[in-house]
A = this chain, B = another copy of it.
Amino acid sequence: MSDIPSNKPYLIRALHQWCTDFGFTPFMAVFVDSSVEVPMEFVKKDEIVLNLSIEACHQLQLENDWISFQARFGGVPRKIMVPVSHVLAIYARENGQGMSFPFDASESKKSKDISPENAEKPKASRPIFTIVK
C-alpha cells in the first residue's frame, strides 16, 4: 500500500477549490516540525492553522509534495513551505466542513525533531478507504 502514490494532495486541492467556489475560507491545519517553514511565533502545541484563501495568499502552489505561498503575518510578508505529509486538515472556516488526515510519521523521517508524542497525533480516521467488495 505504501507503494501507491498518495491521493492526499488531490483531495487537498479539491477541498480548496470547493471552498473557493462557494466563497468559504479554506483553513489548513499543519503539524509543525523542522521541515515546515512557518512563522514559529504562531505555532501552538506543534500546530499552526493557515488561511489558504486567494485573498490571503500570494503565489499559492498546491503541489503533490509541497504547499507553498507568501502571506502577511502582522503586516510582515513571510514565505510558507509545508510538506503535504504534514497537513492535518483542510476545512472551511465558516462551517468546519472539510477533511482531516492522519499524520503519517513514516513520511516525515527526514524531520529532525519529531518526538514519539508528536508522531502519534493523528487527527481523525483515514480519508482513504480500501473498497472491500
Contact = CB atoms under 8 A, between A and B. Distances in A.
A91 to B, nearest CB: 5
Q: What number of copies of this chain does the assembly contain?
A: 2
Interface in A72-117: 89, 91-92, 95-100
Given A99-B127, A99-B128, A129-B100, A15 B10 contact: yes
A91 B11 contact: no
Contact of A131 (B4, B89, B130): B89
A1 B98 CA distance: 12
Top 9 A-B pairs, shortest CB-CB distance = A14-B14, A10-B14, A7-B18, A10-B18, A96-B130, A91-B131, A96-B131, A5-B22, A100-B129
Interface of A: 1, 4-5, 7, 10-11, 13-15, 17-18, 22, 29, 89, 91-92, 95-100, 124-125, 127-132
Given A10-B15, A10-B18, A99-B129, 16 more contacts: A1-B97, A4-B92, A5-B18, A7-B15, A10-B14, A11-B11, A11-B15, A14-B14, A96-B130, A97-B130, A98-B131, A99-B127, A124-B129, A125-B125, A127-B127, A127-B129
